[in-house]
Structure 1
Amino acid sequence: MSVAIDDDLWSAIGDPVRRRLLDLLLTEGVGTPTSLSEHLPISRQAVTKHLGVLDRAGLVHATPMGRERRYEVDDAQLARAVRQLNEVGKSWDARLNRIKRLAEQLQADRTSGENS
């Protein structure tokens, strides 16, 4: 079964700050822009912008909590990202195995040509 690759999802995950935010949320369970910014060398406003990107990609969801929003990782969307990553890995493994076989065949052909 082939899994469609979601470029928006991977664009969101591709940023190191957003990956760190996901790590923090997975570790802590929930977080607000204020609490998360305490663990990063960026402002609360910058954290809010990064969380917005993750939210639009479906990787986190927010719940209003007073004047702030409480963010949590969306487990289903994260699982979808893992499935996509595994599919990409399998595809590259197959490509690399084909390259290896071709290189081995070329080497064997050269060796047999030298021995003739």
Structure 2
Amino acid sequence: MEKTIMKNLLHCPVTATMEVIGGKWKLLIIYLISNDINRFGKMGMMLKNISKQMLTTQLRELENDGIIERKIYAEIPPRVEYFLTAKGNSLTPVIERLRDFGMEFLIPREEASVDQLHV
């Protein structure tokens, strides 16, 4: 039974999706870009604990998987911005639902914990 489950997970659409957007940073990067935070430096400031190397790696992987595209402007100094592709934009409803889940289930729990401290 366990071998059958593992065999099925290898060809599972959820597994395939997680290979593209899984990990600590990718969904957050996609969320930032979808909210017009699309410059490397600004993303680095918003994602406080990400190293420049990790941000670069995650952006490259998302670009290679067709989720984002990079646009280089012919300016001095050079300016680079990232945008969601059609494939990346298709993730927007999923990310919005995750945000809604957080607002509904996680934020009230945090507020309750803070309120209990003041009792």
**Cα deviation 1:47-98 (Å, max 9, x = unaligned):** 1111000001100000013434210111x2135558xx8xxxxxxxxxxxxx
TM-score normalised according to structure 1 size: 0.54
Q: Give the partner amino acid of 2:80.
A: R
Distance 1:55 1:8, change over 3 A: farther
Alpha-carbon distance in 1 for matches of 2:72, 2:17: 23
Residue identity (%): 17
Per chain length, whose mean CA-contact separation is higher, i.e. which structure has more relative contact order (CA < 8 Å, sep 6+)?
1
TM-score normalised according to structure 2 size: 0.53
Flag the structure with larger Rg: 1
Q: 1:78 aligns with which of 80, 88, 99?
A: 88
Q: Give the partner amino acid of 1:45.
A: Q
Q: Does 1:19 align with 2:19?
A: no
Unaligned runs of 5+ in 1: 86-116
* Aligned twin of 1:88: none
Shift in Å, 1:9: 4.9
Number of residues paired by the alignment? 79
Alpha-carbon distance in 1 for matches of 2:14, 2:65: 9
- Measured on the aligned residues, the alpha-carbon RMSD in Å equals 2.8
